[in-house]
Amino acid sequence: MKNDATRAKLSELEALLRSMGASSEIGVALSGGVDSLTLAAVAHAVLGSRAAMFHARSPAVPFDATARVEAMAAARGWRLEVFDAGEFGRAEYVANPVDRCFYCKTSLYGAMRARTGAQLLSGTNLDDLGEYRPGLQAAGEHAVRHPYVEVGADKEMVRAMARLLGLGSVAELAAAPCLASRIETGIGIDAAMLSLVHASERLIGAAVAARTVRCRVRATGVVLEIDAAALEAIEPQRRAELADEVGGIFAGAGYPRPVSFAPYRNGSAFLIRRVERAP
């Protein structure tokens, strides 16, 4: 019964993409997560070469996400362009205000628009609409469409479609927001710091059986956030050892910081809930 619902929703998505491709090529923004990769797979299956994929390489994008995009594109014959969206050239982005994502997505969609006249698409799903997402305003200003939202698909439905399509491990990818989301609001975004964050998350991810690992850089120090159950399972001595290892990563690069652990909280690096933007 569940597969029937998934097939029906997938058929809706295919029909929507087919109708979009009837009058224009489409350009899919690929982050390297399950949402955008599944959308790309469906778009290519329906539209072939009329679907182009765009991935922004950036210090804020984990290198394994870029590698995943490139590997899938090569294996499946996607049209893929990898480029620098230039967000680090924006003072507003680097300053890391609470609406940093607006400036990031403005750079992304602007760079895509400079490369194509296609209808731009994102992998935004219904669950994303319940969170503070200033990037959605940037999408609106660039006439980006959100096919999952249009057909009423949430994150679990996207995963179910990925399984049905045989996308393997892609269907089970944990949520992985950009590395800049680990930096506390108001602390400037620094490319070198982001590489330390990523190295620390990889170290903890390899050492601990946790689904979610976030290395938060705060004014008071580095906080390693892990699922509550996984955190409870780590012995105090092991926590201290891991904290020392992460502290060494930061200190070795000239960023000495105290390191502590805490239970994972979604979006905890944002200090202000939201800002209102002029229409």
> Confidence class of residue 113 from pLDDT cuts 50, 70 and 90?
very high
Residue 272 lies in a domain: no
**Pair (86, 124) in one structural domain:** yes
Give CA–CA dist 210/263, Å, rounded: 11
**Pair (120, 244) in one structural domain:** no
**Pair (42, 110) in one structural domain:** yes
* 40-90 per-position pLDDT tens digit: 999 999 999 999 999 999 999 999 999 999 999 999 999 999 999 999 999
Looking at the 3D structure of the chain, how many domains does it have? 2
Residue 55 lies in a domain: yes
Diameter of the chain measured on Cα atoms:
62
**Average pLDDT for residues 227-255, to the nearest whole number?**
95
Q: Which domain holds residue 224?
A: 179-263
**Pair (188, 211) in one structural domain:** yes
pLDDT at 272 over 80: no
pLDDT at 254 over 80: yes
What percent of the chain lies above the pLDDT cut of 70?
95
- 56: domain CATH number is 3.40.50.620
> Confidence class of residue 163 from pLDDT cuts 50, 70 and 90?
very high
Residue 277: the pLDDT is 47
Residue 206: the pLDDT is 94
**Pair (73, 100) in one structural domain:** yes
Give CA–CA dist 237/243, Å, rounded: 10
pLDDT at 276 over 60: no
**Pair (129, 148) in one structural domain:** yes
Would you tell me the crossing angle of helices 2-23 and 34-47 to the nearest 10 degrees?
60
Please tell me which residue, 270 or 190, carries the higher pLDDT value: 190
- 259: domain CATH number is 3.30.70
Residue 274 lies in a domain: no
> Confidence class of residue 1 from pLDDT cuts 50, 70 and 90?
low
CA atoms within 13 A on the CB side of 211: 8
**Pair (256, 158) in one structural domain:** no
Residue 8 lies in a domain: yes
pLDDT at 198 over 80: yes
Lowest pLDDT segment from 20-24, 167-171, 235-239: 20-24
**Pair (148, 191) in one structural domain:** no
Residue 97 lies in a domain: yes
**Pair (10, 37) in one structural domain:** yes
Residue 2: the pLDDT is 73
For residue 14, CA distances in Å to 35, 45, 69, 147, 224 come to 15, 9, 21, 10, 40
**Average pLDDT for residues 2-26, to the nearest whole number?**
94
Give CA–CA dist 192/179, Å, rounded: 11
**Pair (46, 156) in one structural domain:** yes
> Confidence class of residue 176 from pLDDT cuts 50, 70 and 90?
confident
**Average pLDDT for residues 126-138, to the nearest whole number?**
89
Please tell me which residue, 2 or 168, carries the higher pLDDT value: 168
Residue 24: the pLDDT is 87
Residue 162 lies in a domain: yes
The mean pLDDT value of the chain amounts to: 93
**Pair (141, 201) in one structural domain:** no
